[in-house]
Amino acid sequence: MDNKAQLAEKLKAANNVLVTVSNSPSVDQLAACIGMTIWLNKMGKHATAVFSGDIPNTLEFLEPEETLEKNTDSLRDFIIALDKSKADKLRYKVEDRVVKIFITPYRTSLTAADLEFSQGDFNIDAIVAIGVTKQEDLDQAIVAHGRILHDAVVTTINTSESGDIGSINWRDSSASSLCELVYDLCLVIDAQQIDPQIATALLTGIVAETNRFSNDRTTPNTMSTAAALMAAGANQQLVANKLADSLGQVQPKTSPKNDDGTLQIGHSDTAGQAETTSEPTTNPVIPDDDKTSSSRMITEPPALGGQLTANSLDQDVLEPSTDPLSLPPVDTAQLLRREPLTPIVGEPQPSDIPTVQPSPGPAVDSNLSLDTETDKDNQTLSEIEQAVDSPHLLGTQEQPDPKQNSDSKTLEFNPANFGIDDDPEISADSPPQVPPPIISPDFLPPEPPPGK
């Protein structure tokens, strides 16, 4: 008979079972201890789980305080002794939370002095030490009472090859966890007693030891056991959520902080992002409520490119990046108004407007070049006006001398010929003097024909 079968037979015959763990248990140890204790009590055994240390907060959802005890006091009876010659019969009655013991005296009266109180021996048939490989690793509450280990049969359950502190030692290194071994033991004795509470406790140890079925301790038998526990009512979502923080979840990286108060910023991640990122960054937004700074710095160039000049055209005509100085020259014919301009929609057409002949002006030389920038430095104003036939030259030209031109009939007005002084004395009472009209010989009336 192998060790597992021997352990099963011993638990079937035992009435009082002590289940314990090491003085520094893992989640798997405590979960297996809770699940096995509840399972033994459901089979009608008197099972007690003892752990005197602090229970981790991770297992609060299993309600360990309802199963685990801090000491071994409940494993001993409280004895009341009385002289049997003074007692006729005994009975008890339970009222709410009180148990009353009635002693009927026999031909006498009884007082407290007639009663003796004492502690009985530890009432333990078997001890199951889960995950304990050495006797000094046992919980201090068990080690404090050495008689427990001598009076009861000690058994152990381990997933390691070492551990021979008991008379029956069941070891299986191929198992993923102690909870998996406890489930195998339940299958041998009585698997019908596994309820959702027991299944959830056993699944907790399996998930913890396999790191959510991700390490090399996960085997096909492990997956089958987990599936069977879930079928028995194990709350897998509850277990996964409660153990998330204790299973080494990835935490966000933080920059190391030195003791002098400075913060060191890492650039390994940002450098990689700069190489792979091709999206342009937008201009930074500077808050308006910054009242402490008198000037603001723009760290990004404007979004639109190009050059801004006095000859810049509308954005609908040119692209933002077009340089207006690089455009082809504008046709000079449009500047000289040789060609009719395109009429604007909504304005009257030239055919609707009466034609008015403009007065002839000075002729414009069609060969005149508009580019005078190269010659204006070497020409004078008079030369430029003569080149363009400026009207200003008409007033400055010399008038022909009437004495030299015998054909001219223009009379020169001389005030002395008409008795007008060059500077007459004009008073306020003097009547206005009107000069006589000047009669040109060309306007004399024709002479009458002879004979009339």
Cα–Cα dist 193/422, whole Å: 152
Helices (H), 16-130: 27-42
Cβ-based burial of 19 (10 A; exposed 0-12, middle 13-18, buried ≥19): buried
Q: Comparing C-alpha atoms, which of 314, 29, 284 is closest to residue 156?
A: 29
Q: Please tell me the predicted confidence (pLDDT) of residue 282.
A: 45
Q: Please tell me the predicted confidence (pLDDT) of residue 82.
A: 92
Distance from CA of residue 206 to its chain's centroid? 35
**Below-70 pLDDT ranges, the chain:** 1, 246-379, 389-452
Q: List, in order of start, the domains of the chain with CATH numbers.
A: 3-74+122-242 (3.90.1640.10)
Torsion of CA 303, 304, 307, 310, to 10 degrees: -120
Q: What is the CA angle 10-12-18, rounded to 5?
A: 65
Q: Are 38 and 149 in contact (CB under 8 A)?
A: no
Q: Please tell me the predicted confidence (pLDDT) of residue 46.
A: 94
**153-158/168-171 β-pairing:** parallel
Interval 385-436: pLDDT, tens: 777 766 665 555 555 555 454 444 444 555 555 555 545 555 555 555 555 5
